[in-house]
Amino acid sequence: MDTHNRLRELVGDLWDRYVRHEFVERLRNGTLPKDVFRYYLIQDTKYVREMQRAVIMAAGRAPLSEALDVLNALFGNIERGAEVHEKLFNALSITDAEVNNTGFNLVNYAYTRHLHYYASRG
């Protein structure tokens, strides 16, 4: 059995619940309300920014060659992701000010604090 199938077997129905979540289904079939998608993009942007900060923090504690490998992998092709976000932000009239002035939802806040905690520990 290949790794993919072995991992799918280990997680049971968790994967199916993940990919068949109402948000994913509605996004796929075009029935997700625009305001819900806007909110998701804003929260996702906040998460990505904090994840990048946490990786930089953790990389600062790593041996130089390993840190450079990680940072290059993370930031080496950042323009592609930024380009997609820019198109979506323009289409949905999302500004940097709106992202910066929107608070973290509780799950996003907890998860990003978790990232920062472990990044700070090395």
Instruction: Give every CB contact of residue 1 below 8 A, 6+ residues apart in sequence.
Output: 9
- pLDDT tens digits, residue range 101-120? 999 999 999 999 999 999 99
- What φ, ψ does residue 2 adopt, rounded to 5°? -75, 165
Q: Residue 104: helix, strand or coil by DSSP?
A: coil
The Cα 50–Cα 120 span in angstroms is 13
Give me the number of domains the chain comprises.
2
Examine the domain organization and report whether 102 and 80 are in the same domain. yes
Under the banding of pLDDT at 50, 70 and 90, the label for residue 4 is confident
Examine the domain organization and report whether 81 and 41 are in the same domain. yes
Question: At 93, which CATH number?
Answer: 1.20.910.10
Domain span at residue 16 reads 1-32
| Predicted TM-score of the model (pTM) | 0.79
Examine the domain organization and report whether 4 and 62 are in the same domain. no
The Cα 54–Cα 19 span in angstroms is 27
